[in-house]
Amino acid sequence: MEIEFQKKWDDLKRHLDQRFEDDLDVQAILFLIGLQELGKKVEKLSKDQKVDVMHVAVCAILEPYGYYEYEGRDKDDWPHWKSAKQLPRLNQREQEMLMKQGIIEYLEENSTFA
């Protein structure tokens, strides 16, 4: 199972690295997902808005696991989720695996850039 997962991750990462002509890490991929979820052209983001974009991505990729529930968009058209259940206590490796698995599944279903 872990070998299959690692192959999927490596294939996805290689594809994204080629697509964006850069060596993207998990944080960069989450940022791209957040921008995709935001769904509008963004000229310039403040540091706080960049953090918000990352949060949007985390919520979007963890929603299928039941951790977040989509609530809708605010007056500025930003998507919002509420916590649906508490995340389990995970060590750093487990957190990274959860994020990568969520990214893989999200991009298989939703990506316009993968």
Domain extents in the chain: 2-110
Using CA atoms, how far apart are residues 66 and 110, in angstroms rounded to an integer? 17
Q: What is the pLDDT of residues 6-28, one digit of tens each?
A: 999 999 999 999 998 899 999 99
pLDDT of residue 42: 77
> What mean pLDDT value characterizes the chain?
92
How many CB atoms lie under 10 A from the CB of residue 6? 12
pLDDT exceeds cutoff 60 at 114: no
C-alpha distance from residue 92 to each of 13, 38, 89, 98 (Å): 20, 27, 10, 10
Sign for the CA dihedral angle at 54, 93, 12, 83 comes to negative
**pTM for this predicted structure:** 0.89
For residues 55-61, give the mean pLDDT: 98
Using CA atoms, how far apart are residues 15 and 66, in angstroms rounded to an integer? 28
Helix (H, G, I), strand (E, B) or coil at 13: helix
Per-residue confidence at 1, pLDDT binned at 50, 70, 90? low
